[in-house]
Structure 1
Amino acid sequence: MKFKLTLVFTLLITTSLLAQTKIKGIVVDTNNEPLPYCNIQFKGSTEGTTSNDNGAFYLESDKTWPEISVSFIGYKTLNYKLVQNIQFNLRLTLEEEQESLNEITIITGKQPKKNNPAIDILRKIWAQKRKNGLKHFNQYEFKKYQKVEFDLNTIDDKLKDKKIFRNLEFIFEDVDTSNITGKSYLPIFLNESLSNVYGDNTLNKEKNVLVANQNSGFSNNQELIAYIDDLYADYNIYDNYIKIFDKSFVSPLSKTGISNYNYYLADSAFIGKKWSYNLVYYPRRKNELTFKGDFWVSDTTFAIKKINLQVVKNANINWVKDVYIEQEYKLLNDSIFVLKKDYFLSDFSLSKKEKSRGVYGKKTTIYKDYVFNKPIKDKDFYDKKVYNSNSDSLYDKPRKFWDENRFEELSKNEQGIYKLIDTLKTVKKFKTINKVGQSIYSRYFLIEALNFDYGPIFSTFGYNDVEGIRVRAGGRTYKTANDLFRVEGYGAYGFKDQKLKYGVQAKWLLNKKNRFTISAGKRDDVEQIGASLTASTDVLGQSDGSSSLVGTGTNDKLTKLNLTSFTLGLEPKPNFELKLSANYKTLRSASNTFSLDYNDVNSPTGISSETNQFETIFSVGFYPGRKMSGFGVHREVANPYYTQFYTQITKGYNNTFNSDFDYTKVQFSFFRLWEIGGFGRLKTSLETGKTYGAVPLSLLSVAPGNQTYFIYDNTFNLLDFYEFVTDTYASFHLEHNFNGRLFSRIPFLKKTNLRTIVGFKTFWGSLSDQNKALNTTGSAIEIPLIAPNSEPYYEYSVGVSNIFKLLRVDFNFRGNYLEKPEVRNFGITAGIRFKF
């Protein structure tokens, strides 16, 4: 009996192993030249792939297939019989069809736009796309399960022998092979989430309510989870552009697709009960943000049944060697298809060479339990913040919950990730590597025994002409990322002025539901007021121009600031913030070569050098589309380029706590990033302000200069500090990044993947006679009070980014106000930018 059971068990295993087909190879023509974008399918099925830019392909199936079909327009279809279920190193040769070559030019791969049945089908897809799927209904609901996994790939003996893996060899026990690329890989991270999604097409709104989330070894790290969510943001294949890794790729279903892709009708067959067409597409030009692949589209409804998209090798995208997307749709009734499964694979690598190692990022999303036309009774439902009094419970569900609720079982290797990470967390070497990586990313170094986070690390050293070399040490209390109470502070010392500076602040989140916070702090430090227009209400906030290590000129126009502040904050609705601060500050010049003197009838000398000021600041911030991670007193922004509306009203009082001036300053700023499809991204920034009442120079609005060689947003690269002083101003910044579109059209620059950036900045302002009189004392070190009211100041720039994939260099040109011999007419600024 035992022998029979063993025999049956062995046969079952053998049968399951045999019921697989794996093939890998290259497609070439009769001249032995690789053929890209060929269609390879298991004959008689809809399972297939396309060859890459080098003609290489990999195809896998759980079933056994005896034959494959290889086709490409202009070539004879090749039917190749498989001798074995697993065959690698295949070399398949396609012969040209001479008759087709006589009719149209096929050699370059260009397909006709007219009299092409594939284009006719594409136009019918355009006509129906707004009627397909969820667009059929006024309201919809569904459940979503999402799994994101990261894997080390191209695992070989050479990698295993690396010094970094010494004493960590056990991690290689669960190596598997990708069914997309055929490469070996090792799972190292897994994140799972369950959500309920609600949408209303009449309101054009959608809401995702998180039910549960867990990840391997990084529990409660909402910052990491938010970053992953933003990295793998949802997309719609019917849109003209598909946003992936902050890039806008032209969709093969786009109305502009004819100008970017070649299409041909490859096959037609029944899929389920629907007659469907198979269209293959590939780029017309290299180096553009496009895909290659194929899709199956249903007849009559012209809804997509299945589609795969693969980013072409020469696309201008950094750190990503390969991207593969596959979507499968479910037929609800005779005419409506809805998304059933979405699979996304990305191969992150420093090199795009075929054999280079990297990291797979894989996202699998499964949709089910669709409900339609069930109106939400509460009209404010989509704007209300989802609040859970015990938010930690979302990230700490027991294993039984996940076993019962995930939409598909984890593979053996995926299950092993949780065990692997738990084991690695006990290994000292891994803990060290992990801690170093987290410190570089967060800019803080955690000392767990003291519950103290040292940093920011990169603010340790600085330089200016007042302090000389400046050293700074600071940190914050840190128990968890979601601390409700936090104290942070720093101490700094200048070796030239030999003075100690400091700052300390405490923040407390009293109510997580509406984010009611209180904070109080004190700072005694040196500040470059001329580097920004809207001062931060954060006591520890300091401008970038205060202590840059390298500058273009003398940085001596610094202010000695002693500030005490108390602030209340409230967020009654998501991304709608209210703040009220009460500040008392003392300002005076920190330099013997810079004057903040003003005329004062109450002073024995008629001149005062110090301003004592009590003020209240009320601000309103609205940030639609902003994504935040965490729910403690301190949160991190997950998507940096969100739209911003900000208004700040500052009221100064005289004779309150011996305050000197009575005034009101009103300021407004707006920022937005505009995605312009294949033409790149446009950043716009507008800021205006007006001060009512006479105030000294230390309280006026200074055009923000940039006396460094580094790129800083919302500053003017060719203005020195205090070159323009105003009480009424308007500032506008425009910057467009072509994302490589221009360089991709220049033959000898195509392969460089460089990207062009153009910018324009302008500043207008005026200064009242009353303020001029108050601040004109006749001092020998007094700065000229100049405002650009006759004509706006402007400068423009042309930049090249993506140099060595990291460096951006801007060439800046000053447009006017060139009379002074010391002004800078031209300058170069640079910055390190980690961009895909």
Structure 2
Amino acid sequence: MKKFFTLVIFLFSVISWSQTKVEGVVVDENDDPIAFANVMFKNSTEGIITNDNGRFYLESDNTYKVLVVSLLGYTSQEIELPKSTNYNLTIKLVEGEELGEVVLYAGKQSKKNNPAIDILRKVWAKKRQNGLYKFDQYAFDKYEKIEFDLNTIDSTIIKSRLFKGMEFIFDHTDTSSVTGKTYLPMFINESFYKVFGDNKLKKEKEELLGNKNSGFNTNQTVIAYVNDLYSEYNIYDNYLQLFDKSFVSPLSKAGIDTYNYVLTDSTYRDNKWCYKIVYYPRRKNELTFKGQFWVNDTTYAVKEIDMQATKSANINWVKEMYIEQEYEVVNDSVFLLKRDYMLTDFSLNKKEKSRGVYGRRTTIYDNHVFDDEKPKSFYDKKIDPFNPVVYEREDEFWEKNRLEVLNEDEKGIYKMLDTLTTVPKFKQLYKAAEVLASGYFEFDKLNFDYGPLYSTYGYNPAEGLRTRIGGRTYKTANDQLRLQGYTAYGLKDHKFKYGFSAKWLIDRKNRIIISAGTRRDVEQIGVNLTNTNDVLGRSFASSALFTAGANDKLTNINLTTAGVEFEVFKNFKVRGGGSFRTMRSALPDDFSLSYADPGEPGGVADVTRQFETYVTLDYKPGRETIGYGVERRDQNDDYVHLFLNYSLGVKGILDSDFDYEKVQFYYRKPWMVGGFGRLQTIVEAGKIYGEVPLSLLNVVPGNQTYFSIFNTFPNLNFYEFVTDTYASVHLEHNFNGRLFSRIPLIRDLNLRELVGLRGVWGDLSDKNRALNAPANILLIAPSDKIYWEYSFGVGNIFKVFRIDFNFRGNYFDMPDARKFSVTGSFGFEF
């Protein structure tokens, strides 16, 4: 949702000019819309297919006087175009055309004896022999232009109070060449790269040489969103990863079961004889496209391809998505991607007249060089993540390296947007969007942010109603030093709590960071198995006003920590440090952390004091980040995460109570399972060597809230299972509507089905049981058999809600065991 709010405020697009524009709808004799009808300018190869609602928009730089509309099985219509711009046409097709030798391609097509599928099989066989794959090494220039626009501009929005004082921006409106809607450019970003690759080493390196933004030159949030939104894809892959979804590629081997294919034409394209194949989905509500592609008759390389996402595709906030790729013929056997264009119409709903935001990316590839071998060290060498020169290129650099020249309207956008950012009202709108996205209110002159606003109020049984204020130093997203702090007050216990942390990036190249912090607060320990020393992390003790069962197992914790970390190579961090913590029960009448201590009066201690030193290895292969300061923002979430921690507790230092060793392992991996959705997996294991009190043992994470929280057990109460040795697995698969799309009536709701399976095994030594005998809590570990749960969920309810039905698999005889629970969550996802 944070990204979506940012998107709604900062928009933009390319201005195009053409000589013939036509827009309308194709219907049958009953005035019902006709999908997949062919709309072409007469005596040309320029055309489009009508969408699910029979609508079309077609534009050309050439002048045409006649439009041809056809669908075999209907009588073709030739429509005279009296003007260069013709909107709101209604074209009626009548059934009954004599087909003769022409093949009918309305509806489902046969998979047998289909020449289009025969050609497609040859495309599969040749795909690893085409393009860049034909060479051992390659290099090329890459120019990328990303733009956002506010679309469906009319007199209502122009006269609205929202734009009062900013009317000058409407001098820059234009019409989309794909949808025919009027739009207003609001943001543009240009980038120029040098790309190097080695197919033998399976290495690729992309070096950013220039970056230019309109109006928001230092806004890393906008840049991060743009980069995250438009991920790379290859049409030859079986599945295209767009908006965290797996769309079936029309060139996929799975395409035969997903698409209808029809061979409709063959002709020369750039002096190469090519076949034209039209494709459209076999079923509704699946993540599919419709469109056409041209294939060369000898290399079976794709020369051109158009892909338009079907409106019934189960994807939120995207009304239209259109992709167009052109390939350059280098010689008789080499076809290289020359131009990649993608247009997305973001909107709250898919109604034809709804307003939204265009996001469009244009990528141009040129100046290819092949078989220039470079050593492996060239690809492994680190690149400075932020070179100021890259973001301060002069006009001469862009005039030389723009692979697609800006037209006059696009040049004017820079001036208009630079002016817009000086308008006070726009600054206010911009700041409001930033507050919604970040949760912080920024005081520019003080270089200070107040927040997070969403943590201002909370509740738990120990503190009652809780108020919190806090903030952070913030000049830019790339600050080398970040200070954060907060204070909170409980209206029931009448106690102040506080937290403070400092992080300083002292070496940007190797990302050497020193950090320290302290925290005194009420905490819900045992919400995760793998420990961290984040003193300002989320306080689960104050996360929910309503809980399942008594949420009284809370701890007063006083934690101080210090550490240093450095990046050995990209995404591999080593961190070391130490911490000292004091822990006692926040509700001693209901929850005891007492343990046996012969040195205390009565032989029982209620407070744990412990010094601990630690070393962690943290590896996230495949992660992409934005920024170069002490804090960086992830661009993607599909990377693997490996984490290994070794901790050593030392008795006597600062009056610490225990000697022990602790080893913990964490593994997270998301899997895109083709067209069957996304599987999230987490594996954890750990062991404590030595005797420790309950406050230092590993608690299997329960969930007594009514919220769905991954990597917890929703039918476990807090402290239901306690271990010193454990192994845990969590699996959750989101089918993204794959199953519901096959069920009539339900499929139109665009619901998404989820299934979950989770289990944990653990043990607790006799010595640890004896040490913690004074505690008034029954210590049980799932050692006799693996504890497990399963769940079924329905997501995308009204596009924002999710409900999970959770079932306990065993250990039904545990005290207050919950056999079944219902949890839910709220969020904005594509």
Q: TM-score, normalised by structure 2?
A: 0.95
Separation of aligned partners in 2, 1:169 and 1:88: 26
Q: Which amino acid aligns with 1:606?
A: G
| Amino acid aligned to 1:120 | D
**What residue in structure 2 maps to residue 395 of structure 1?**
391
2:555 is equivalent to residue 559 of structure 1: yes
1:733 aligns with 2:730: yes
Give the whole-Å Cα distance in 2 for the aligned partners of 1:590 and 1:18.
Answer: 69
Matched, 1:425 2:421: yes
Distance 1:641 1:833 in 2: 18
Q: For the residues of structure 2 that align with 1:553 and 1:380, how far apart are their CA atoms? A: 58
CA separation in 1, counterparts of 2:763 and 2:440?
42
1:503 to partner: Cα distance: 0.9
Q: Partner residue of 2:216?
A: 218
Q: Given that residues 210 and 390 in structure 2 are in contact (C-alpha distance below 8 angstroms), is that contact kept between their aligned partners in structure 1?
A: yes
The answer on whether the counterparts of 2:611 and 2:654 sit within 8 Å (CA) in structure 1 is yes
Give yes or no for contact 2:563–2:577 (8 Å, CA) kept in 1.
yes
Q: Which amino acid aligns with 1:685?
A: I
1:485-634 counterparts in 2 under 5 A? 485-592=481-588, 593-634=590-631
Q: What is the letter of the counterpart of residue 195 of structure 1? A: Y
Instruction: Give the match for residue 331 of structure 2.
Output: 333
Output the CA distance in 1 between the equivalents of 2:43 and 2:541: 67
- Find the counterpart in structure 1 of residue 11 from structure 2: none
Spell out the pairing of 1:166-181 with structure 2 (5 A cutoff). Answer: 166-181=164-179
Partner residue, 1:708: 705
Q: Are 2:202 and 1:204 equivalent residues in the alignment?
A: yes
- Contact 2:469–2:487 (8 Å) recurs in 1: yes
2:792 is the counterpart of 1:811: no
1:677 counterpart = 2:674: yes
Shift of 1:95: 4.4
**Separation (CA, whole Å) in 2 of partners of 1:57 and 1:405:** 35
CA distance in 2, matches of 1:617, 1:439: 36
Could you list the per-position Cα deviations for residues 710-743 of structure 1 after superposition, in whole angstroms to 9, with x for gaps in the alignment?
1222111111111110000111100000101111
Going from structure 1 to structure 2, the CA distance change for 1:104 and 1:481 (only over 3 Å counts) comes to closer
Q: CA deviation at 1:138?
A: 1.3
Matched with 1:639 is: 636
Residues 386-441 of structure 1: per-residue CA shift (max 9 Å, x gap): 116x6232222233322332222223332233222222222222111111111111
- The whole-number CA distance in structure 2 between the counterparts of 1:103 and 1:231 is 42
Deviation at 1:312, TM superposition (A): 0.7
Task: Report the Cα distance in structure 2 between the residues aligned to 1:84 and 1:168, rounded to whole angstroms.
Answer: 33
CA distance in 1: counterparts of 2:298 and 2:543, whole angstroms: 67
Paired residues of 2:304 and 2:325 also in contact (CA < 8 A): yes
Q: In the alignment, what sits opposite 2:796? A: 802
**1:509-538 superposed Cα distances (whole Å, 9 cap, x missing partner):** 010001001011111111111211122222
SS of match in other structure, 1:382? helix
Return closer, same or farther for 1:484/1:104 CA change in 2, 3 Å cut-off.
closer
Flag the structure with more relative contact order, 1 or 2, with Cα contacts below 8 A and sequence separation at least 6.
2
Cα distance, 1:784 vs structure 2? 0.2
Distance 1:262 1:722 in 2: 55
- What is the deviation of 1:485? 1.1
SS of aligned partner of 1:657: helix
Q: Distance in 2 between matches of 1:821 and 1:500?
A: 35
Q: Structure 2 CA distance, aligned partners of 1:688 and 1:346?
A: 43
Deviation at 1:105, TM superposition (A): 8.2
CA distance in 2, matches of 1:103, 1:342: 33
1:511 and 1:58 map into 2 onto residues whose CA distance is 54
1:27 aligns with 2:26: yes
Contact kept, 8 Å, 1:177 with 1:184, in 2: the verdict is yes
The more displaced of 24-33 and 704-713 is 24-33
How far did residue 545 of structure 1 move? 4.4
Q: Give distance in 2, aligned partners of 1:235 and 1:429.
A: 39
Query: Using the alignment, how far apart are the partners of 1:537 and 1:392 within structure 2?
Result: 34
**CA shift at 1:56, angstroms?**
1.5
Closer, same or farther in 2 for the Cα pair 1:102/1:803, shift >3 Å?
Answer: farther
Contact kept, 8 Å, 2:463 with 2:494, in 1: the verdict is yes
* Contact 1:126/1:253 (8 A) holds in 2: yes
Distance 1:84 1:717 in 2: 65
The answer to whether 1:476 aligns with 2:469 is no
- Which amino acid counterpart does residue 558 of structure 2 have in structure 1? N
Mapped to 1, the partners of 2:485 and 2:517 lie a distance apart of: 9
Q: Is the 8 A contact 2:597 2:605 kept in 1?
A: yes
Name the amino acid aligned to 1:407.
Answer: L
Match for residue 447 of structure 1?
443
Separation in 2, partners of 1:508, 1:783: 42
**8 Å Cα contact 1:309/1:324 also seen in 2:** yes
CA distance in 1 between counterparts of 2:583 and 2:165 reads 58
Does the Cα contact within 8 Å between 1:223 and 1:638 map onto a contact in 2? no
1:785 paired residue number: 779
- Percent identical among aligned pairs is 56
Q: Which residue of 2 aligns with 1:46?
A: 45
Three-state SS of the structure 1 residue aligned to 2:367 is: strand
**Which stretch of the first structure deviates more once superposed, 196-205 or 308-317?**
196-205
Query: Matches of 2:87 and 2:553 in 1, distance apart?
Result: 70
Aligned residue type for 1:409: V
- The equivalent of 1:666 in structure 2 is 663
- The answer (yes or no) to whether the contact 1:327–1:339 under 8 Å persists in 2 is yes
Q: Which residue of 2 aligns with 1:12?
A: none
Residues 187 and 413 of structure 1 are in contact (CA less than 8 Å); yes or no, is this contact kept in structure 2? no
Cα gap change, 1:106 to 1:386, in 2 (>3 Å) = closer
Structure 1 residues 544 and 626, CA gap change in structure 2 (3 angstroms): farther
Cα distance change of structure 1 residues 280 and 547 upon mapping to structure 2, 3 Å threshold: closer
- Tell me the distance in 2 between the aligned counterparts of 1:99 and 1:420: 56
Structure 1: distance between partners of 2:814 and 2:684? 27
Q: 2:341 aligns to what SS in structure 1?
A: strand
Q: Any unmatched runs of 5+ in structure 2?
A: 1-15
In the alignment, what sits opposite 1:152?
150
Decide whether the 8 Å contact of 2:511 with 2:567 is kept in 1: yes
1:126 corresponds to which residue?
124
Contact 2:469/2:488 (8 A) holds in 1: yes
User: Is contact 1:532-1:543 (8 Å) kept?
Assistant: no
2:35 is aligned with 1:36: yes
Aligned length: 814
2: CA distance between counterparts of 1:696 and 1:279? 70
Q: Distance in 2 between matches of 1:801 and 1:177?
A: 36
Aligned pair in 2 of structure 1 residues 353, 704: CA closer, same or farther (>3 Å)? same
Instruction: Give the stretch that moved more between structures: 20-29 or 745-754.
Output: 20-29
SS of residue paired to 1:751: helix
Structure 2 distance, partners of 1:771, 1:190, is: 62
The separation in 2 between residues aligned to 1:815 and 1:19, in whole angstroms, is: 65
RMSD: 1.9
Summarize the alignment of residues 686-697 of structure 1 with structure 2, pairs less than 5 Å apart.
686-697=683-694
Q: What secondary structure is seen at the aligned counterpart in 1 of 2:299?
A: coil
Matched-pair contact (CA < 8 Å) for 1:133–1:337: yes
**Could you tell me the TM-score, scaled by structure 1's length?**
0.94
Shift of 1:98: 6.2
Q: What's 2:411 paired with?
A: 415
**Conserved? CA contact 1:519–1:568, under 8 Å:** yes
